[in-house]
Chain A
Amino acid sequence: MSQQAPTREVARRVFAAEFNDAEYTFKESDDERAPQYLLLPSGERANRIFVVGTLTETEDVGEDSEYWRGRVVDPTGTFYTYAGQYQPDAAAFLRDAEPPTYVAVVGKPRTYETDDGTVNVSLRPESITEVDAATRDRWVVETAQRTVERVRAFSPDTDEYDGLAAEEYGGDVERYRRAAVEALESLDSESDTEAEAEGAGQASL
């Protein structure tokens, strides 16, 4: 029998507000090649995430060789993504990008500990592509949906990962529901503004 290909890890949907609170990583087995997961505060384990937001700034922070950092902003906060020589396509994208622009990033969560002991989390891109506002809006709604689902299902007493998340992060998942509501409201007010602009345009004709 041929060995079965390992199943591909799902790209989780998470807002920056929740992603940046995460810091605990783990593997499910001792195997060196076993996937590494970032435990999200709402109890989901994420080996990969998918983000759509506004690329607001890029900077080459490398010393000996190019190492690009991009700031990708969603309605709740900022994702930091880093690409160097091992992510040539993503690095090239960040080098050539002209912020602000909407981008979609598929990537792996990475954590590092700073000198003062705080853990920072960032995103190592597998791909970065330019997208439009409609795709960004769809992502915001989808991510709000997934967040609300996780918050609603959060049960630290019965679910292993929820329990671990409560232990690591304190179990206050209500703030992520509020973040989701605010993100949805931000879309609402945007479309109101657009509608008003459109109305004004028509009135002047």
Chain B
Amino acid sequence: MSDVRKDARELHERFSDHLDVTEDEIAERLTTLTEEYMVPREEARRSVESHYLEEAGLERDDLGSGGSNPKVKVEDIEEDEQWLDLTAKVVDLWEPGHESIGQVGLLGDETGTVKFTAWASSDLPALEEETVYRLSNVVTDEYEGRYSVKLNRTTTIEELDEEMEVGENSAEAEGALVAMQSGSGLIKRCPEEDCTRVLQNGRCSEHGDVEGEFDLRIKGVLDDGTEVQEVIFDQEATEALTGTTLEEAKQRAMDALDTEVVADDMRERTLGQYYRVRGPQFGRYVLADEVEELGGPTDTEELLIEARSI
């Protein structure tokens, strides 16, 4: 089948519900553009599609992408305006912030989670929490580097009777630890149930003056010379990184009558060292679940050959 025929058939399938148009007519339009006007195939297809959209009084989003979409995992969503199919569990539903939004929440599969939005105008059946769905024809959206998916009028929703483990979004960062931010070292947290806020001068911003509980953490910056990544090391990771346990840190602070010495010790021990960390991403931080201290270089020979050959 020729490219023109293929495109004509696909376009026909998509418009046949909306317009009284034959495959031949569509093919003719495509041929005129590609052969007479020498328009590239993609552009011709787009142009003809726009023509029929206008004729049918439809928006591009109303129709979906046509054809079959790639079936992707959540972690693969990394491009704006991609049409795709997703099988995912509804992890969370939030209160829509605006009347134009039908539903908003969090979808997840084994590779991570992604925000979703369904427009009120799309008249879709409501999704339920903790249920797995096969969602066909959703489109990705990007805002400040973070991706979400949008359900629209053409999205088909199929409830699946299956279980799904939802994974955490995982990130990796590597570089020299070039800074340790304030709030690192020996800190105190609010002891109230479900409150783990870090105390400022013995005060919790929610519960006021409380008897805090000691904890260790490092808020650090990894820098590879081209970009920076902020990283949080929790108590376990901090103990492993510095070789100092929480008990030892408390003793050290008590002897010095100053908690700041703990952070100073940690700076001395870790700044300027190279690390690779892996773990879930929370906002601008990666939580360092796995930490590897990097030793000497490994790829010197290869680089030398490259550097000599420019």
Contacts and interface: CB of A to CB of B under 8 A. Distances in A.
Interface string A1-19: 0000001101111000000
Interface stretch (A116-124, A133-141, A196-204): A133-141
Interface in B245-267: 264, 267
B307 A142 contact: no
B307 A184 contact: yes
The bracket for how many chain B residues form the interface is 20 to 34
A177 B310 contact: yes
B271 A134 contact: no
B296 A137 contact: yes
B307 A50 contact: no
Contacts of A50: 176, 178, 223, 225, 272
Size bracket, chain A contacts: 35 or more
Contacts of B303: 141, 144-145, 148, 184
A127 B310 contact: no
A52 B297 CA distance: 13
B274 interface: yes
B210 interface: no
B300 A148 contact: no
Contact of A127 (B272, B274, B306, B307): B272
A187 B297 contact: yes
A175 to B, nearest CB: 13
Contact of A142 (B179, B225, B269): B225
B178 A142 contact: no
A8 B220 CA distance: 12
Contacts of B307: 144, 148, 177, 180-181, 184
Interface in A146-191: 146, 148, 151-152, 177, 180-181, 184-185, 187-188
Interface in B266-297: 267-274, 294-297
Given A138-B274, A141-B300, 16 more contacts: A10-B225, A10-B228, A11-B228, A50-B223, A50-B225, A89-B267, A104-B271, A106-B178, A127-B271, A130-B268, A143-B225, A148-B306, A180-B307, A185-B304, A187-B297, A188-B300
Interface of A: 7-8, 10-13, 48, 50, 52, 89, 103-106, 126-127, 129-131, 133-135, 137-146, 148, 151-152, 177, 180-181, 184-185, 187-188
7 contacts: A89-B267, A134-B295, A137-B297, A141-B300, A141-B303, A142-B225, A187-B300
